[in-house]
Structure 1
Amino acid sequence: MRDFIDDLDAKIEHGDFKEILQWLSENIHRFGRMYTSEELMRRCCGEGLNPKIFIRYIESKYLDI
C-alpha cells in the first residue's frame, strides 16, 4: 500500500483514511471471496505471504525497545 499511497503514515496519523479505504476496497475487499489469501496477496502485492517481510517489520518496530 505504501507504493500506491503517498504519505501513508501521515494520513494515518491525521486520521485521514479516505484514500486508504478506497485502496483497500479496490484491491482487497472486492476480491475477498474470489481468491485465497495467498492469491490475493500475489495479485495486490506481487508476491505471496513472505515471513521475511513480517520479520523485518517486527524488527524495525521493536528492536530499539
Structure 2
Amino acid sequence: MTTIDKHKFARAVKRYREENDLTQKELAEKLMTTTTTVARWELGMSVPKQDGMIREIKALGINW
C-alpha cells in the first residue's frame, strides 16, 4: 500500500474540492464515501486505507 503524507494529502483534497466548486458532500458522493471521511481527510486526521480508494482519488486528478 502507498504511504501517504497526511498533511500533503489534506491540502490536495481541499484544493481539488475548492477549485472544482464541490462541497464535501459532493466529493464524498463522487468517491462513494461519507462526508465525515472527506472532512477527516481535509483536516489531516486520516487518509484512505484502501488501494482502490487511492486509485479513484488519483483518477480525479488529486495528486499530492
Q: TM-score range by the shorter chain?
A: 0.3 to 0.5
Q: Give TM-score scaled by structure 1 length.
A: 0.32
Q: Give TM-score scaled by structure 2 length.
A: 0.32
Which of the two has higher C-alpha Rg? 1
Structure with higher RCO (Cα < 8 A, 6+ apart): 2
